Amino acid sequence: MTPRTDERALESLTEKLGVDIDAELLVLALTHRSYAYENGGIPHNERLEFLGDSVLGLAVTAMLYERFPDVSEGELAKRRAAVVSTIALADVARGIGLGEHLKLGRGEEQTGGRAKDSILADATEALFGAAFLAAGRAAADALVLRLITPLVDDPARYGAAVDPKTSVQELAARLEVPPPRYEITGTGPDHDRRYVAVLTVGEHSATGTGTSKKQAEMAAALTLWRNVHA
């Protein structure tokens, strides 16, 4: 897919964001490092992502503090982690059609980078950083809250992204079935080991992969939880 970074497409994205971000800064927020490396090492969005992460965290923390005056610090932290998770931010990105605007390298393009949660979440944070630079903190906070606040009412869905293994344990308890069962296999040499975890919870099953057993188990747990709650 060719990225929609022409002037009309950028104007359309800017309208969705409701923040006046100049074209050069907006394109930077949409430029993944894979594209930058393939085009002579041009700037990419990781510095904006770094800034946007702080903008996001502060805006969400303040909102939760004010909205839930009787909730404990520990519970506030859990809610914040849920709605700023990679899964949650990727859903936000899909809601504004961000994937079609990204500038990706050939490898990421060929492996479905426009749909990858991590790339979408990073670009969302980069947009928050761009909004902060272009329009100031108040405008950036308003953008964050407009996109993130709807997720606050459904913390369980995104909480699974923070601790998927615990979420599937709770799922098993609700279904009144035996605890989750993981079957793990590993392949490849020691320096490049890959693991596959097959998870079963009652009648449900899912597979996850990773470079460690824990990573594979977490991937399987998140996949199963999302499948059950789709």
Three-state secondary structure call for residue 200: strand
Q: Tell me if residue 20 is catalytic.
A: no
**Helical ranges in the chain per DSSP H:** 7-17, 23-30, 33-38, 46-67, 73-83, 86-95, 106-110, 117-135, 137-152, 155-162, 164-175, 213-228
Amino acid at site 163: D
49 is in an annotated binding site: yes
How far is the C-alpha of 82 from the C-alpha of 89, rounded, in Å?
10
φ, ψ of residue 126 to 5 degrees: the values are: -60, -40
State the catalytic residue, choosing from 108, 109, 125, 217.
Answer: 125
Other residues' Cβ atoms within 10 Å of the Cβ of residue 25: 17
100 is in an annotated binding site: no
> What tokens were used for 139?
């405008």
> What tokens were used for 11?
């104007």
66 is in an annotated binding site: no
Q: Tell me if residue 125 is catalytic.
A: yes
Amino acid at site 30: L
Residues marked as catalytic: 53, 125
Annotated binding site for Mg(2+): 49, 122, 125
